[in-house]
Amino acid sequence: MTRRIRPVLAAIALAMLIGTANAPAQDAPAATGDTAKGKAFVDAKGMTLYTYDRDTAGRSRCSGQCADLWPPFEAPPGAKPAGDWTIVARGDGVRQWAHKGKPLYLWKDDKKPGDVTGDGVNNVWRLAKP
């Protein structure tokens, strides 16, 4: 019986190695969703993500009350940058996802997936587009 089990275990181990080699290193932290204003990045709950015109590449300028209204799109512990996705170290200790250097945010007034009520607020908030 042992002679029959070893080839099966070897085949399973090989299949696992092949599957692992073809798996992506890390999925993108955001998906692309449809909104009334076209395609935009969304979080895992389908909530629209935004960029802030006053941010500079790799640096968030939204803190304090601003961050209460525009919560940063947080990178969980252990998350690693990949491709166009980077992580911004904020002054408040939060690690925030950025796409092509632009930090990403949610908007407190968006209530359901697909809402885009934050687009154009104060003429400095924009949909984060792929």
The three-state (H, E, C) secondary structure of the chain, written as one string: CHHHHHHHHHHHHHHHHHHHHHCCCCCCCCEEEEECCEEEEECCCCCECEEECCCECCECCCCCHHHHHCCECECCCCCCCECCEEEEECCCCCEEEEECCEECECCCCCCCCCCCCCCCHHHCEEECCC
- Per residue in 51-108, pLDDT (tens digit) is 999 999 999 999 999 999 999 999 999 999 999 999 999 999 999 999 999 999 999 9
Residue 13 lies in a domain: no
Residue 71 lies in a domain: yes
Residue 19 lies in a domain: no
pLDDT of residue 28: 86
When divided into structural domains, the chain yields a total of 1
